[in-house]
Chain A
């Protein structure tokens, strides 16, 4: 099935560091969503973006809807141990395609530096 391009695939964080990840697509979306998934659980919605250029924050998390509507970015500031997990981007309302199904990236896995 179709998936978005999400990078990096994995990264190691040290407490207090800032983290950045991004998601790109060849298709235009009306909405971008960011989710976090812990092992054995369902994805939890972090941030929803509805307009090109929109910048939205949720605590230490900030996400942006790219101007081209084909990409999105997520930043985590001053990371803490509970930020560990897998972060997924998802596009909703693909232009020229079906409107109601989410199309996901493969995820960015955040781990603690050994």
Chain B
């Protein structure tokens, strides 16, 4: 049973550029959440997708957007990258919105 997978593993971008990160949920899970983890901090909630719609959103600007596909996989897009967007981006899946979440290995984004 494959767990949550994310791609790419690492990414280096320049300020002002745009980036797309991808996530495939654990088998049987229909809800995907995205988190940003800065160095030395706990993960911070970005948003959650269920039935291809954004169901909840954390305190992140509109530069952060996402999408969920019919097969439950998801993308996170960040526009107009800032140096402060450098972080580990984690995807988590769950069998429903208010259940325990399982994390992928993350994508390390570095903005220079």
Q: Chain A residues in contact with chain B, CB under 8 A?
A: 1, 3-4, 6, 30-31, 33, 35, 40-45, 48, 88, 90, 92-93, 98-107
Q: Tell me the bound Cα distance from A33 to B58 in angstroms.
A: 19
**A1 CB contact (under 8 Å) in B48, B58, B99, B103:** B58
B41 close to A33 (CB less than 8 A): no
Contacts of A33 in B (CB 8 A): 100-101
Q: Tell me the bound Cα distance from A33 to B102 in angstroms.
A: 11
**B56 CB contact (under 8 Å) in A3, A30, A101, A106:** A101
Q: Tell me the bound Cα distance from A1 to B4 in angstroms.
A: 25
Contacts of B99 in A (CB 8 A): 92
Contacts of B108 in A (CB 8 A): 40
Number of B positions contacting A (CB below 8 A)? 29
* A100-B105 contact given A3-B42, A33-B100, A45-B100, CB 8 Å threshold: no
Q: Chain B residues in contact with chain A, CB under 8 A?
A: 4, 6, 31, 33, 35, 40-45, 48, 55-56, 58-59, 90, 92, 97-106, 108
8 shortest interchain CB distances as A-B pairs: A104-B42, A42-B103, A100-B97, A101-B45, A1-B44, A48-B100, A42-B105, A43-B103
- Per DSSP, chain A at the interface is strand
Q: Tell me the bound Cα distance from A44 to B41 in angstroms.
A: 16
Q: Tell me the bound Cα distance from A43 to B35 in angstroms.
A: 11
Q: Tell me the bound Cα distance from A59 to B11 in angstroms.
A: 37
Q: Tell me the bound Cα distance from A1 to B41 in angstroms.
A: 11
Contacts of A42 in B (CB 8 A): 4, 6, 90, 103-106
